[in-house]
Structure formats: structure tokens, C-alpha cells
Structure 1
């Protein structure tokens, strides 16, 4: 594949992580309102955001063993949205459908209720694993218009190591549109180390990925290698999803886990030893089928690679942000930066 026409779909940005404590609701309202006004949401919609995060925070404090809120601005195809994610470690929701009905409550004091969050938000999703944890996602687009979904939807999430404000893991997604093929290119990158220096590598990797005019994963990986010269380097992988061929191709170097999950099976895609920006072996590409209903998951070693799709029933029918959040929530290694990007091939 040669030079490409395409556009950036979405990429990692700053995430505000707020841990569950007595001041969570007030802190979440303040941070969410600031982010919402920053993307020019009108005050009526800012008030909706504040209601939403207040309910999320209240539920975490009342019902969850432990949890956190992740607030961020996401950008997709020229539009911006505020995304609010609630993640907890249990006990889970026994009956999600019942919990979404107005008036349903475990204690009789659920505030506006989870169902109302779904009506307030432009995009809403929830996934719960009994005894293990729940992820709730609410997204508010700046113009109130949800972008049209393509055959494959993608999203991701990053979380810094405890004690740091910035994360050295990053991800990005852009379209591919050539005479020969159409699809998505995805990048997952883990800057070596932690803190500001690793985050600088991550920023450079996203820039190199955006600037690359290539479509083959091996060529884009070589572009990243050139873009990261002079830095401490990174583990990185590039995947190309071919819509028509229903295939995925991946080229990577370093400790990036990549797999295709379908139902209860997983097919691994290898990355070679090496450090992008420092010492890159001759890139190779590995392929797998990517049928409707499949998920491509790429993550850093901030997540354990021992999880199995069968452990997450129904997850890959959710919004990609919910899928990324639940996998990070359940598989993250507490002592490291964590980053994940997920692409879901929707059933026709």
C-alpha cells in the first residue's frame, strides 16, 4: 500500500482521574464543568454534565468497594465531546436492565438514577460483571450530534502510574482511504519509563503517527522509529484493519499485547523484540481474520495479558470506551502506566 488519504479519527488525550472519597462529587462537578465549558457546551448542557457526574460519584461512594471517575475531552472527526467514565471493583450489578429503570435502587436513594443518566447523555453505556465491577460511560458532544458510526468503531483509555499526573502510554486511530482499500490504522505506544519524559515520547509518537502518509503497518512503524529518534524510545505496535477483506495486520516492536477476540477465543498478533526510536529490527507484519463481531485489543504491559474474552460476556457489544475501561479496570497492573485501544467490528 502506498500514500494514503485519510483523517484522524480519535486519539488519547489528557485524562483526569478522581479516586473515590468523600470529596469525589464536588471535585467531579467542578472538573467536569470546567472541561464542558472548555469545549463550549451551553450552560443547560453543562448542568446535565454536573448531574451526571454527581450521580456517578454518589453511586461509587454508596455501592462500590473501590472506584474512580475518569473525565476527559475526546475528539473525533473534527468534533469534541466530554466523556465521563465510572469504574469500580465490585460488587457489580445483578440486573442491569432493572437498574436502568426509573426508581430502581439498592438503597432507595439513587438520586436521579442511572436510567436518567442515559437520557441526559448523548451516548451512554454500562457493563457489569457480578462480583468484579462495573463501568458506566456518558458522553456529551459539543454540538449535541453523535458522529455516524462506521463498520468498525475504536476508542481507548490511559491511566498514569500512581503518583504521576501524566501517562507514558498513548494510542491513536486514523482512517485509510485509497483506491485499493479502506480501513483503520491504530497505534498503541508505551514510552519507556514513567512521568513527563515518557509522556514526551508518547506525544512524539502521536505526532509521527498523524504525520505518516503510509498505510502498511511496517511502514508506519518505521515512520514512528524515525520520529522517536533522540528520545528514550518506546514499545509500539501499528495495526491496519481492512474493511473489505475483514482482516487485520499488525507490526510491532517491544512489549505490546495485540489480539483479536471473537466470542470466547483469542488470536494473538506478535510484536518483535526491539525499542522503537532506538533499535528497531526489520519490521514484520502478522495477520488474522477480523469478522463481524470481532474485537481488536492492543494494550501495554500496564495490563496483564492473561485475560480471556470469555471472562467478559457481552463486553464487545458495548461502546469501545466501555470495553477499554472494563479491560483496564479488571486487568491493569497497579504499579505501572496503563494504556489500551479497542476496535470493534459491528455486526451488520
Structure 2
């Protein structure tokens, strides 16, 4: 893994809620954990956790999915489990997290058990609209200390496809300070293997580059995508010391600096990276502590507002990304979201 890389999209295994969900989730999660050489006692904890997540979906949700993936960062690895549903939401979240609480006549241990079993746990629920639950298991059982900027995201392929044409990645930008981060969001044109190939080329160019200016980096990605069908790509530099974010992009990628009640857009220019890209322009916004940079592809509506998601932007960035995808997806198309949050360290 490139030392400058913080985290990237990777492969996401999506499992729809049906009668076989619990067994399929246990099997997939155990396979991922054993590939990372988890000890068997931690594999068992992970299996129990995803069983609880699957059972909760089937008992309580109108419709939903589990998303499982491997996270790699700073020489560490984790299995990340996300549960997303479309309602009815949790009316009293605090009470639901207590053991012995149930609205379905069961023992009610599911939500409490997930919080105890996982190394990192998060939950966000919108009444009547849906819930996202996160459980992350690190290879050695210890979550890394939080930095000044935390980042995470989620991708989902178009219905009927296994490969997603959207991807994202985050890496360091050391000459702008130890906490500075570069963030890329990419949407390969179309969908399926050819779109995924373009996205993979963009991710590789971003990962391997030594450039730290958004314009220089976008132009390098443009050169690497020659010969592919091209992509919409945006690259942002988060300068923590200056409390600013600078972004350049070409194509239809939405970028927003959001707080609990404000939203400022950072536009991209028309064009197709790798095919025909105009002269890049840089757009800037303030990025104070507590702000989140949200970048997503056109598989999601850009009409969402922070006020529609009370409490969301204080969550783990992966929970934020998953809930925005959960609520703002406009069709069963490739979709991708990446969130970088400026916390207080």
C-alpha cells in the first residue's frame, strides 16, 4: 500500500435483505476476516455481529441491505459492516441501544450487542425514512487514534452489475502540513466493466502520484485515463492549517462543504477526464472544525440539505456517506459518496 494513501473505496459486497441474509452475511464476513488473518475468536465476534445486523433488518425494516468491505489504512486492516434500510426508523434510539429493549417481541439484544462486539460502532436513524448502522472490526481489535481529518465513503453498483463505475480515494498531502488531505471522487462513464476500468485507472493515478496540487493531480489523472471511456473526476485539497478546501473537477461530480445547518457548493467544470477536459478552475471554501466535505456522483440527487439529516454530520464519515447514499440515491445506478470530516484533535 502506498504510504501516502489514507483510505480508498475497495470492493464492496452488497447483500439484499431476504430470508438467506444472515447465513450469507456470516459466510462473506468470515471470508473477509480470514483473508486478513483475523484470529478465530475475532472471526466469531464478527459473525455474531453481522447475524444481529441481518436479523434486525429482517425483523424491523421495510427493506434494506448489508454492505461488507475491507478497509486498509496505515498498515492496518479492518472489516467494515454497514446496514442500510428505508424505514421505519428508530423512534427512541437511546432506548433501542439498551439490552432488553425490543419492539418485535424478541429479547431485544441486537443493537446493544452490535455496540459491544465492534471496535467502532455508529448508528443514525431518521424517523419514517431509514437507519444506518456501522460496525468495524480491526485486525488487532484496536481502532486507530482519530486524526484531524477522518474520511470514509461507500459505493454501490447499478442493479444487476457486480462492478461499480464509481470510486473514491483519500491520501496525504504532506507539503501542505501533516494533517492535509487530498480527496478524489470519480464516476466512470456508463456502468459495468468499462466504467469500472476507467475508475480503476483514475484511482491508480491518484494513489501513485506525488503531486499535491488539485489541478496538477487532475491533469495527471486525465493523462492516465487516455484510451478509456473517460470519467467525471473531482479532486479536493483539504488544508487543515489554513482551514480551507480547494477543489477542481471536470464532469458531473457534486462537492459540498456541509455543517449541521449550512451547505456551500464547489462546482466542477464541463468535460470528460481522459477524453476532452477544458482548462481546470479551482474553487475554494472555508473548512472550519466540525465541517464535512461531501463529494458524490450523479447516481445521487444533489438537492439534499443538511437540515434533512439532523445529527448526521457528527457521525463517523462512513455513516454520513451511507445515510446520504441511502436517502439521496435517485435511481438504481452506480452511486458513490466520500466524506471527509474536520474533527477536533
TM-score scaled by length of structure 1: 0.96
What is the aligned partner in structure 2 of residue 154 from structure 1? 151
Alignment pair present for 1:97 and 2:97:
no
What is the aligned partner in structure 2 of residue 345 from structure 1? 342
Contact 1:6 1:177 in 2 (8 A): no
CA distance in structure 2 between the aligned counterparts of 1:111 and 1:30, rounded to whole angstroms: 24
Q: 1:146 to 1:193 in 2, by over 3 A?
A: same
**Stretch moving more, 261-270 or 133-142:** 261-270
Contact 2:176 2:239 in 1 (8 A): no
Contact 1:171 1:186 in 2 (8 A): yes
Alignment pair present for 1:318 and 2:320:
no
Contact 1:247 1:291 in 2 (8 A): yes
What is the aligned partner in structure 2 of residue 255 from structure 1? 252
Alignment pair present for 1:212 and 2:213:
no
Contact 1:162 1:334 in 2 (8 A): no
Q: 1:95 to 1:179 in 2, by over 3 A?
A: closer
Matches within 5 A, 1:1-348: 7-110=4-107, 112-178=109-175, 182-347=179-344
Q: 1:287 to 1:42 in 2, by over 3 A?
A: same
**Stretch moving more, 209-218 or 103-112:** 103-112
- 1:283-307 CA distance string (max 9 Å, x none): 1110000011111000000110010
TM-superposed deviation, 1:160: 0.2
| Unpaired segments ≥5 residues, structure 1 | none
CA distance in structure 2 between the aligned counterparts of 1:145 and 1:182, rounded to whole angstroms: 21
Contact 1:103 1:113 in 2 (8 A): no
Contact 2:99 2:108 in 1 (8 A): no
| Unpaired segments ≥5 residues, structure 2 | none
CA distance in structure 2 between the aligned counterparts of 1:254 and 1:183, rounded to whole angstroms: 25
Contact 1:59 1:110 in 2 (8 A): no
The two structures, once aligned, show a CA RMSD in angstroms of: 1.3
SS at match of 1:163: coil
Contact 2:261 2:306 in 1 (8 A): yes
SS at match of 2:318: helix
CA distance in structure 1 between the aligned counterparts of 2:20 and 2:176, rounded to whole angstroms: 54
Q: 1:98 to 1:181 in 2, by over 3 A?
A: closer
TM-score scaled by length of structure 2: 0.97
